[in-house]
Structure 1
Amino acid sequence: MSVGLLALLDDVAGIVKVAAASLDDIAGQAAKAGVKAAGAVIDDAAVTPNYVHGFKADRELPIVGKIAWGSIKNKLLFLLPAALLLSLFAPWLITPLLMIGGAYLCYEGAEKVFHALAPHSAEAHEAGLEPAAVDPQSLEDQKVAGAVKTDFILSAEIMTIVLAAIEVPDFWTRAAILAVAGVGITVAVYGAVALIVKADDFGLWTATHARTGAGRGIGRGIVKAMPVFMQILSVIGTAAMTWVGGSIVAHGLYEFGLDAPEHIIEAAAHWAEHTFPAIAGFAGWFATAFVDFFFGLALGALLIPVAGYVISPAWKAIKHVLPKRAAKAS
């Protein structure tokens, strides 16, 4: 009896070791895949703080929390099963869907540039797309919805990159790696965003409560620096949104045989690498992002009138018809 019990315990210990090794492998694969998606992750972190701009300090963290929860749901409830199922049954659909998302990012980026250059015209365009918020709660809901929508596109790119980087053939292990990477990236991104948006409050507290003059001076410096930092981050976020969208669309066109944009981007990267050999890696990346940005900006500018005169009226007509049909059905 004791021999049998020892054998059973030995088997259990073996199973535990295998499970632990599997967990280590999942964590390692998730971290490795997450590094490959670093570019899109940085873009996500740069874009999000824009959505809490203009709100009271006590609403900043709740808004970030809502967006983070929306991001978790995007990744785990929608994108993870969709990515796995598409990779199994309809891999040909992944590129067109990513291109649609990339085009939306181009539109968002171009619309923000349009708002900066011609604010009155941009506000009229935005008013035609959706009703203006009439109270703080409505404005907050609109901002959160817009942020979660944009996060969905960036998360789709992140999850696709992670899925492509996974080297494990087993379906369930791939699903676990994708889930761990998705949650880990979300925590990292929105944790960084929370620190960024509360830095000015920390600076104010330090400026008034620090025990030394140097500490209070650091606090005042943080308070003075944060508005400039947030403006810079807003510019980076808009640029990132646009170049990521341009990159997705250009790569998708290449896969469909329309390779001119991709060749231009590659030529720009090679030129930069040869012109600045001392910083070849950075120069190539910057040239690629630069051309992606202007390609995305041009595409987004073309989509602004399409959104205003075609997509928005069509969507309003659909929303107007649906309640009538529901009423007739009841």
Structure 2
Amino acid sequence: MAGGLFALLDDVALIARTAASSLDDVAAAAAKTSAKAAGVVVDDAAVTPRFVEGVTPARELPIIWRITKGSLINKIVIILPIILTLNALAPWALTPLLMVGGTYLCFEGAEKVLELFHSEEHEAQEEAGVKDEDALVRGAVTTDLILSAEIMVISLNEVADQSFWMELGVLLMVALAITALVYGAVAILVKVDDLGLRFQAKESASAQKFGSMLVKAMPKILATISIIGMFAMLWVGGHILLTGTDTLGWHTPHDIVHYLTHAVEHLGGFVEWIVETICSLIFGLIVGFIVVGILHLLPLKKH
């Protein structure tokens, strides 16, 4: 009896060690895949703050929390089962799916560019009253769906040759870690001005000066991040489409970008990245303007 018990305990210990080893493998793979998706993570963090511009300070964190929950639903409930199923049954469908999302990002970015040239109309909308929180959250979660899809597909590509359970574990870890990172950073960012107000209320002159600096700087920083987010959508969307068209057989746009980056490769990797980013952004802007133009010609398009 005792021997059977010790044998059982040995089996349990072996299972535990195997599980721990598997968790280490999953964590290592998740770290690797997250690094591969770092560019999109930055874009996600840059895009999100614009959705809480003009919102009452007391509602900023609740809105970000709602977007965070929506992002987790996007990644775990919607995207994860879809891409795992497609990877198993129709891996060829992942590229067209990403391209649809890339086109949407280009459209969103192009519309934001056009808004810059209609500032009076935009300001009138800002003065019209309190923003509709539900509409803000829907817009943010919709944009997050596209960015999250790319993050998850990039991550899947890094472990596509692993077992189903390894893929599932890595993608779950990536979804949780990146969502916490992105929206945690956004939450801190949008509340920095509140921190500045607290410093202004202190008796210390240096603290008051520091608080005033934060309060004055944050609107400019958030506006800058909003612009970065706008260009990020065009860059990411354009890059998705350039890569996708090349994969599907139309090589010309990708070859042009490759030629331009090759021409400056002697200047270093950073210059190559700049050139590739600018090319992706321009391609994304062109596609975005085409989509905006088509939608504006359709009778169903309303403003």
State TM-score, norm by structure 1.
0.86
Q: Describe the superposition over 1:149-186 as per-residue Cα deviations: whole angstroms up to 9, x where unpaired.
A: 01000001000000001265211221111111111100
Aligned to 2:67: 67
Q: Is 1:148 aligned to residue 136 of structure 2?
A: no
Output the CA distance in 1 between the equivalents of 2:4 and 2:270: 63
- Check conservation: 2:242, 2:254, Cα contact below 8 A: yes
Q: Is 1:51 aligned to residue 51 of structure 2?
A: yes
What SS does the aligned partner of 1:54 have?
A: coil
**Pairwise CA RMSD of aligned residues?**
2.3
Q: Which amino acid aligns with 1:183?
A: L
Instruction: Figure out how many residues of one structure are paired with residues of the other and give that number.
Output: 303
Q: Is 1:180 aligned to residue 167 of structure 2?
A: no
What SS does the aligned partner of 1:114 have?
A: helix
Aligned to 1:305: 293
- Check conservation: 2:95, 2:244, Cα contact below 8 A: yes
Output the CA distance in 1 between the equivalents of 2:290 and 2:110: 9
What SS does the aligned partner of 1:227 have?
A: helix
Aligned to 1:160: 153
Q: Is 1:108 aligned to residue 73 of structure 2?
A: no
Unaligned runs of 5+ in 1: 316-330
CA deviation after TM superposition for structure 1 residue 270, in Å: 2.1
Output the CA distance in 2 between the equivalents of 1:188 and 1:272: 34
Q: Specify whether residues 30 and 307 from structure 1 end up closer, same or farther in structure 2 by C-alpha distance, changes over 3 A only.
A: same
Q: Specify whether residues 110 and 70 from structure 1 end up closer, same or farther in structure 2 by C-alpha distance, changes over 3 A only.
A: same
Q: Specify whether residues 120 and 253 from structure 1 end up closer, same or farther in structure 2 by C-alpha distance, changes over 3 A only.
A: farther
Q: Describe the superposition over 1:20-69 as per-residue Cα deviations: whole angstroms up to 9, x where unpaired.
A: 11111111111111110000000000000000000000010011111111
Q: Which amino acid aligns with 2:225?
A: L
Q: Is 1:225 aligned to residue 225 of structure 2?
A: no
What SS does the aligned partner of 1:27 have?
A: helix
Q: Specify whether residues 121 and 302 from structure 1 end up closer, same or farther in structure 2 by C-alpha distance, changes over 3 A only.
A: farther
Please say which of residues 115-124 and 49-58 is displaced more in the overlay: 115-124
Output the CA distance in 2 between the equivalents of 1:259 and 1:206: 56
- What fraction of aligned residue pairs are identical, expressed as a percent? 45
Unaligned runs of 5+ in 2: none
CA deviation after TM superposition for structure 1 residue 95, in Å: 1.1
- Check conservation: 2:295, 2:301, Cα contact below 8 A: no
Q: Which amino acid aligns with 1:69?
A: K
Output the CA distance in 1 between the equivalents of 2:116 and 2:29: 41
Q: Specify whether residues 273 and 208 from structure 1 end up closer, same or farther in structure 2 by C-alpha distance, changes over 3 A only.
A: farther
Q: Which amino acid aligns with 1:241?
A: M
Please say which of residues 148-157 and 199-208 is displaced more in the overlay: 199-208
Aligned to 1:327: none
Structure 1 residue runs of 4 or more that deviate by more than 6 Å after TM superposition: 121-124
- Check conservation: 1:251, 1:262, Cα contact below 8 A: yes
Q: Which amino acid aligns with 2:240?
A: I
Q: Is 1:30 aligned to residue 30 of structure 2?
A: yes
Q: Is 1:284 aligned to residue 272 of structure 2?
A: yes
Q: Specify whether residues 121 and 252 from structure 1 end up closer, same or farther in structure 2 by C-alpha distance, changes over 3 A only.
A: farther
Output the CA distance in 2 between the equivalents of 1:293 and 1:109: 10
Q: Is 1:76 aligned to residue 64 of structure 2?
A: no
